[in-house]
Structure 1
Amino acid sequence: MAGNTANTWSAPVASGPLEAGVRVPGSKSITNRAYVLAALSAEPTLVRRPLDSRDARLMLGALAALGATTEPGGENVLVRPMAPSGTDPVSVALGNAGTVARFTPALAGLGSRPVLFDGDEAIRRRPIAPLLRALTELGADIDDGGRGAPPFTVRGHGGIAGGKVELDSRASSQFLSALLLAGPSFGSGVTVRLIGGAPPSEPHIAMTLDLLRRFGAAPERSGTEFHVPPARLSCPDYTVEPDLSTAAPFVVAAAVAGGRVRLEGWPEETTQPGDWLRGLLTELGQGVELDAGGLTVTGTGSIPGARLDLHEVGELTPVVAAMLCFAEGPSVISGVAHLRGHETDRLAALATELSGLGAGVTETEDGLEITPAPLHGGVFHTYEDHRLVMAAAVLGLRVPGVLVENPATVGKTFPGFTGAWGAMLA
């Protein structure tokens, strides 16, 4: 039976094949992009079913500091656009939210006041220097003390000129998305040419382009060059899809424990990287059925080993790695070196914690090698990383005694995760 102490959660064990229905909250990635575009729009936007979590609240707080206003109402949030609000200095609290740290500095450059950006120690270690350099070249006034990391100050001068810029976005596709989202509000728009190699997570780039179009912008792409002309943004009503990456542990639960799990509201068409799981589970021999109401996964009781390049869907790595600890043969995950710059070094954390419970997991330069072995209970440290809480929950389905340290960190994307997980097993 699952239980909680002040700092740990006992991940519940499945007593038999699952038979459950789950609805996860709104997508964090879509929510925060929609909030940014709503703040830049010419009229208010009603954002329906957005995620309510730590990162989403940090984004709303940042936008409020920059002159936008928000009015929660039931499941929805009304966002009123940024408006001139004086010249006195303000601060933006980043916490450990990468989308807030990367998407909002450009907005500060559109205002007329100094804005100090700072957050947790972890956010000070996450990469952002290439984005700050690009914004400076486009006309923003940024003082980072030469650190290329928070804390930094953006001094607003009433606008950003925009134009052409080269960007190394290999560490995070959010650098590119940040420029594209703000581009319609730059004086001459923005043209970004990627250098140094492909950024990770192509689906998130497609998501950004899709939301720009929904809000009335006209982004263009030609290979590694992106152009967003100036535009008057408007989207009076926007509905956020369920978060398919947050759904990942529930999707793989049927494969690990057997039985059937239905994910309500899974979209038939989406740009979210989590949709890749449908193809993966099919390849692994599980039953997968998508209809107008959602996705149903039926476990077959066995999982083969696999070689997976997760470069485009790296955020799924913790949950996928946990699932592969129960495979019938060795597995290799590659293409995810960029995960070393997320909430923690996810590759090192996964290798340490999965191995600590008996799995044979070793780091490679850009991924993990996983050799299944008998697993046992113990403390699973989460390093203030929400995805590691989800990975530990997957392990607990078949391993008694998995004690998840600091489960509250999952509130970054799904505050009700442990309750929903327990309800799935009830």
Structure 2
Amino acid sequence: MTETPALHALWPAPLADGTVHATVTVPGSKSVTNRALVLAALAAEPGWVRRPLRSRDSQLMADALRALGVGIEETASSSSGDGSGGEAWRIIPAALHGPATVDVGNAGTVMRFLPPVATLASGDIRFDGDPRSYERPLGQVISALRTLGARIDDDGRGALPLTVQGGGALEGGVVEIDASNSSQFVSALLLSGPRFNQGVEVRHTGTALPSMPHIRMTVEMLRAAGAQVDTPEAGGEPNVWRVAPSALLGRDMVVEPDLSNAQPFLAAALITGGTVTIPDWPRRTTQPGDELRRIFTEMGGSCELTDAGLVFSGSGKIHGIDVDLNEVGELTPGIAAVAALADSPSTLRGVAHLRLHETDRLAALTAEINGLGGEVTETADGLHIRPRPLQGGVFHTYDDHRMATAGAVIGLAVEGVQIENVATTAKTLPDFPKMWARMLSGAGA
């Protein structure tokens, strides 16, 4: 499986020499792309995924579905260099089958969304991935699938590597699951639920669910594909989601820009007192990144949704913030980077689950910002950040794309910051160094 090199070249994070004024076209949403691929693969007829994200995570998902027998025809890559452009993928469903091996890399969506899909295949489907993937929580998905009738061999680990002994169908039904570590546990079962003989009823039994916008995204996309979904928001029981058995429709899906990946570019406007425009920012979306409009405005910026997209401007001042990020935890690294440059302390709460992401993000942010002279204290469920004068140094990424972009944000204001393994941004944001340079040159990205 994919191995991570022990040593990586250091990337000198560019120092901003003035205010940033640029238009940045952000590639498609990873979360939308990978959900769209799964739903299209399970549909009863071919469909299209337009403007998909072409990145490591989405390529792992596409390759995995191909290994199971799904046809995915990709148009020629866009020449825009942003990973999207006019590209489109035609998805041709087929009878899922093994034997096959799936490389999940370190992609949470692949390692969690595809074992339920594999139960619908005939034959053994083995799942493996990067070393970090062995440490990420998966036991709740494994035990839930067993409750629903699946046969899975994981040698009792409750984690990767594992083999799903696909029987060509899954009975489905009612299952209880503690998804307090990841909303992806719920989404994983819902996405394949229409294809289970009895559908699925997922009952969350743990504490508050993190990243609820991602579950709402899953529900909306299921409904768009013709599934019947009952949710707590629609008057159902709290923490219970039901998906009826049905055929899924092949759709023509256009992927929104990844709003969470817009974060470092918006942060650049905030830090330098400049203006960045993100084209095609949706007026209505389930993406958690939409909260950046509110959070970064509270930290000193201003924004307006226009026909050109989201226009975000910094005021030249950065204020600290006290904020619960439970529903938008993936934004924490970028917010922490901006908070380290603010004029007052910040408290980021509700994100204990980040200890189980691509890396332990709370420990990583504490170590790396403090390594540059900052004062970050880890709390039970987040971070307390007291701004201090920072100096240059190596900012380690732990093979985590959002750590890399967080380091680049700090490097705008702190001379001599060097990012270890900036290439890890390819997980969801292709060509980030080139996009960053173009933004700073005023040419856009």
Q: TM class, shorter-chain normalised?
A: over 0.9
Give the corresponding residue for 2:275. Answer: 260
Q: 1:82 Cα shift? A: 3.2
Does the 8 A contact of 2:72 with 2:91 survive in 1? Answer: yes
**Correspondence for 2:357 among 307, 319, 342:** 342
Q: 1:409-424 residue pairs with structure 2 within 5 A? A: 409-424=424-439
Give the corresponding residue for 1:203. Answer: 213
CA distance in 1, matches of 2:133, 2:104: 8
CA distance in 2, matches of 1:140, 1:386: 33
Q: 1:154-173 residue pairs with structure 2 within 5 A? A: 154-173=164-183
CA distance in 1, matches of 2:52, 2:378: 36
- 2:334 is the counterpart of 1:322: no
Q: 1:13-412 residue pairs with structure 2 within 5 A? A: 13-74=15-76, 75-85=87-97, 89-221=99-231, 222=236, 223-412=238-427
Distance 1:160 1:370, change over 3 A: same
CA distance in 2, matches of 1:285, 1:380: 25
Aligned residue-pair number: 420
Gaps spanning 5+ residues in structure 2: where?
A: 1-6, 77-86
Q: 1:18 Cα shift? A: 1.0
Does the 8 A contact of 2:124 with 2:163 survive in 1? Answer: yes
Does the 8 A contact of 1:311 with 1:334 survive in 2? Answer: yes
Q: 1:284 Cα shift? A: 2.5
Q: Moved runs in structure 1, 4+ residues, more than 3 A?
A: none
CA distance in 2, matches of 1:342, 1:284: 25
Gaps spanning 5+ residues in structure 1: where?
A: none
Q: What do the CA deviations read for 1:317-350 (whole angstroms, capped 9, x no partner)?
A: 0000000011111111111000000110000000
CA distance in 1, matches of 2:149, 2:416: 55
Q: 1:7 Cα shift? A: 1.1
Q: 1:254 Cα shift? A: 0.9
Q: 1:84 Cα shift? A: 4.5
Does the 8 A contact of 2:127 with 2:161 survive in 1? Answer: yes
Does the 8 A contact of 1:214 with 1:235 survive in 2? Answer: no
Instruction: Give RMSD over aligned pairs.
Output: 1.1
- Structure 1 window deviating more from structure 2 (47-56 vs 302-311): it is 302-311
CA distance in 2, matches of 1:229, 1:212: 11
Q: Alignment partner of 2:167: what SS?
A: coil
Does the 8 A contact of 1:8 with 1:405 survive in 2? Answer: yes
Letter paired with 2:218? T
CA distance in 1, matches of 2:337, 2:426: 20
Q: 1:283 Cα shift? A: 2.1
Does the 8 A contact of 2:8 with 2:420 survive in 1? Answer: no
CA distance in 2, matches of 1:164, 1:6: 47
Q: 1:304 Cα shift? A: 1.4
Letter paired with 1:109? T
Letter paired with 1:54? R
Q: What do the CA deviations read for 1:158-189 (whole angstroms, capped 9, x no partner)?
A: 10000001010001000000000000000010
CA distance in 2, matches of 1:79, 1:14: 43
TM-score by length of 2: 0.93
CA distance in 2, matches of 1:319, 1:188: 42
CA distance in 1, matches of 2:250, 2:221: 10
CA distance in 2, matches of 1:293, 1:42: 37
CA distance in 2, matches of 1:243, 1:82: 29
Q: 1:198 Cα shift? A: 2.1
Q: Alignment partner of 1:156: what SS?
A: strand
CA distance in 1, matches of 2:181, 2:103: 22
Q: What do the CA deviations read for 1:29-74 (whole angstroms, capped 9, x no partner)?
A: 0000000000000111110000000000000111111111100003
Aligned-pair identity (%): 54
Q: What do the CA deviations read for 1:349-381 (whole angstroms, capped 9, x no partner)?
A: 000000001111111111111010001111000
Q: Alignment partner of 1:370: what SS?
A: strand
Does the 8 A contact of 2:70 with 2:96 survive in 1? Answer: no
Q: What do the CA deviations read for 1:381-425 (whole angstroms, capped 9, x no partner)?
A: 000000001101100111111100011111000121111011000
CA distance in 2, matches of 1:238, 1:323: 34
Does the 8 A contact of 2:298 with 2:321 survive in 1? Answer: no
